[in-house]
Structure formats: C-alpha cells, structure tokens
Amino acid sequence: MKLTVLVDNNTLIDRYLLAEPGLSFYIETDGTRVLFDTGYSDIFLRNAQKLGVDLAHLDFLAFSHGHEDHTWGLEPLVRFFTELEIEKRPFRKPVVLAHPRTFVSVQGCGIPESGPLLTEGRLAKHFALRLGTEPQWLTPKLVYLGEIPRVNAFEGNLKFGRKEDECLDDAVLEDSALAYRSTEGLVVMVGCSHAGVCNTVDYARKICGEKRVVDVIGGFHLQQPTTDHLQGTVAYFKRLQPQTLHACHCTDLKSKIALAAVANVEEVGVGLTLHYA
C-alpha cells in the first residue's frame, strides 16, 4: 500500500506545497484508489496535481467524520468532476463511504456550521453513496471500519458541538477510520479520532484478526488533552509497541513528546509518502 498525505496542518520542509488545519490522504493498494477525507478547502486538489496524484479515477471516497476540516473539500471535488464531465474528459467517480450520521449539520465552538456543507441528498446527485455502521472491505486487505465501539474510559469525553436534530452535545458517533493488513501488521489511518485513537486501534485489530500494529497515522485527538486522557493513551501505546506512530493534525506538541517517550513518533506533513508491504 502507498499512502500520500495531501492535507495536514504542516508541510514537509523544502516542499512547496500547501497546508491547512485539516486532513486528506490518498491511498493506493491492489489497483484500488481511495481518497480519505478532503480537508477544508481545495488544496487537496492543488497538492495532488503538484504531486502527480490522479484524483480523476478514484474508486472510493471515505470519510472519517463530518466536521469542516475533513469534508469542506467536497464542494471543490464536485466542481472538479463536473468540469471533467463538461469537458468530456475521462474520469471515474468514487463511491462515497461514510456513517449515516456524517452528513448531518453541526454547530460548535460558536460557528454556525461546522459540519458538512453538502447534505446527503445533494451529495447523492453527484456520487453513489454507501452509508452504514458496519465494516466495509474495499480490498482483501483494506477495510473501512464503520462505527467504532467506545470502551476505554480515559477516551470517554471527546464530544464536539451539537447536531441539528439533537439536544445533547455530539458524541460524533460517525467517527471512523481505515485499516490495512500489511505483512508485518496493521496500518490504521485515522481522521480526528473522536471515537478515541486507542478504541479505533483495538477495533481495527478485532475486525482484521491481527494483533500486531505497524503504524497509526492521522489525528489522535490530543489537542490539550486532560491528564487522564494523555496518560491513558501513552500507557496504551507503551503496551501495544507499534513500529511507528505518525501522529498529526489534531495532535499537539506536548502529546507528541509524551508519545515519543514510549514509541517511535515520526514527522508528518503534506507531501509525505509511505509504503507498506
């Protein structure tokens, strides 16, 4: 599997690419092309062009959850495919993978809309939708996890905003991830880990029937975490002993330093390409 970072909060040094507080990965494996999240704007498209990544022939578009830093690139993507259609250029529209609650409006942190700008109905005019809570296998080695069980008490308070049809703070139950079964163990790709990064890794291990973890890449939801949350996460990865952690996006410096005391934490930025057997 080959993974290319198209959007992150940072870029790699001496790479003239664009960054924003968001996330988007491009994944290729066994002839299957997957875009995981679209970031906040159109820079995933612009970075892809610079990096020679073909987004005109995607098989799947998978969403980690519905927040703006992961879904607002959908509008530029719709325009991208619409223009290809108008110009009669070759393309393949992806099937959209998401939890049924991903495209519900959200208000949070004083922002009138921090959820997706496109409703499920409008999105269905442009892409085939495959919404569900159960795991979906994209290839024999790559799975979209669906709704993730929340079992670790130290990861129990990761709510954000409020969905338009709810009266309680949003638990972001749609939060999901991808997992790849490499020859050495699992690669787990997370968006913001509202379900808890440790809960996510545990669920990936269960679904894939694999205890070993090669890498976890993405947002760990460790942005000014509580002491219990950070200590619990560090203790978890100390026990797990993954080969590498690529913590980025919503993972602050203090948390990366704490994780680096128990695991091999590597730098992440737009333009990073990783290969897994």
The SS3 assignment for 65 reads: coil
Name the strands in the sheet holding 60-62, side by side, starting at the edge strand that comes first in the sequence: 129-131, 95-98, 60-62, 32-36, 24-29, 2-7, 273-275
> What pLDDT, on a 0 to 100 scale, did the predictor assign at position 107?
87
Largest Cα span, the chain: 55
Q: What is the full per-residue pLDDT of the chain (277 aa) written as tens digits? A: 999 999 999 999 999 999 999 999 999 999 999 999 999 999 999 999 999 999 999 999 999 999 999 999 999 999 999 999 999 999 999 999 999 999 999 987 778 899 999 999 999 999 999 999 999 999 999 999 999 999 999 998 788 888 987 778 889 999 999 999 999 999 999 999 999 999 999 999 999 999 999 999 999 999 999 999 999 999 999 999 999 999 999 999 999 999 999 999 999 999 999 999 9
> What pLDDT, on a 0 to 100 scale, did the predictor assign at position 167?
76
Of 166, 89, 81, nearest to 123 by C-alpha is: 81
Structure token digits, residue 211: 């205890």
> What pLDDT, on a 0 to 100 scale, did the predictor assign at position 168?
81
| Residue 256 CB neighbours (<10 A) | 17
Contact 165, 104 (CB under 8 A): yes
The SS3 assignment for 251 reads: strand
| Residue 130 CB neighbours (<10 A) | 13
Domains defined for the chain, CATH in brackets: 2-275 (3.60.15.10)
Instruction: Kindly calculate the radius of gyration of the chain based on its CA atoms and give it in whole angstroms.
Output: 17
Helices 227-240/253-260 angle, 10° precision: 30
> What pLDDT, on a 0 to 100 scale, did the predictor assign at position 159?
82
Of 250, 195, 190, 245, nearest to 221 by C-alpha is: 250
Q: Read off the pLDDT of residues 161-180 as tens digits, 9 standing for 90 and up.
A: 889 877 788 899 999 999 99
HSE-CB for 234 with a 13 A CA cutoff: 16
Q: Where are the beta strands (DSSP E) in 118-236?
A: 129-131, 136-137, 142-144, 162-163, 177-182, 185-190, 213-219
List Cβ neighbours of 62 (8 Å cut-off, separation of 6 or more).
34, 35, 36, 37, 96, 97, 98, 138, 144, 176, 178
